[in-house]
Amino acid sequence: MSRIAKKLIIIPNNVHVSINNNIITIIGNNVTNSYLFSNKVTIILNKNSLLVNPLVNNKKSWAIAGTTRSIINNIIIGITVGFSKTLQLIGIGYKAQIDYTNNTLILFLGFSHTVNYKFPKNITLKCINNTEITIIGYDKQLVGQIAANIKSYRKVEPYKGKGIRYLNEVIKIKEIKKNK
């Protein structure tokens, strides 16, 4: 049985939740987000809390209920607080710029050309300095996916540690092969 599914989801005062068929709609801070949940779970809405229960008491239904609860909780956290990821560019000449008119991140990563990444309008990117990019949004999955897409342009190389990495990510540096 899922321990996560048994936990209540507390709804903040400035968030409005409505359930219609298998769609839960969460509104708050001028943001609306909907989620289509499985028909194998039921969601009980009280005044300021939500409870996710499976229809059938078996392992798979409890797993689906736990996943549904986590996704709904992340939507509520994203609408009230938001999610962010910070990336670091490490390497000589590696830098980033943001073109807000076209919603484009321009990356200089040691290639003969610049790398342009077009990001969605509901995501905010900030360059603290030339080598740090902060991705902010209300959708946890989208923020993580954008961070992974940007990181994939220049993966961290294991000998010198050059590339794009998450803030405070630990990279194990390999020793260079030595001739005998």
Tell me the residue type at 51: L
Residue 156 resides in a domain:
yes
Strand partners, 161: none
Q: Are residues 100 and 61 in the same domain?
A: no
pLDDT of residue 177: 79
CATH of the domain at 133: 3.90.930.12
Half-sphere exposure of 94 (CA within 13 A, CB side): 20
Residue ending a domain, choose from 49, 80, 111:
80
Is 10 in contact with 3 (CB distance < 8 Å)? no
* pTM for this predicted structure: 0.87
Separation of alpha carbons 149 and 131, rounded Å: 17
Domain boundary among 61, 80, 99: 80
Q: Answer with the one of 26, 51, 80 that is the final residue of a domain.
A: 80
Same domain (yes/no): 7, 75: yes
The pLDDT score that the predictor gives to residue 1 is 65
Measure the CA–CA gap between 88 and 100, rounded to whole angstroms.
20
Contact 78, 139 (CB under 8 A): yes
Spell out the per-residue pLDDT of the chain, length 180, in tens: 678 989 999 999 999 999 998 999 999 988 999 999 999 999 999 989 999 999 999 999 999 999 999 999 999 999 999 999 999 999 999 999 999 999 999 999 999 999 999 999 999 999 989 999 999 999 999 999 999 999 999 999 999 999 999 999 889 999 887 887
- What is the per-residue pLDDT for 23? 94
Tell whether 90 is covered by a domain.
Answer: yes
CB 15 within 8 A of CB 76: yes
| Residue 93 and residue 38 share a domain | no
Domain range for 93: 84-166
**Mind giving me the DSSP string for 145-169?**
HHHHHHHTTSPPPTTT--EEEETT-
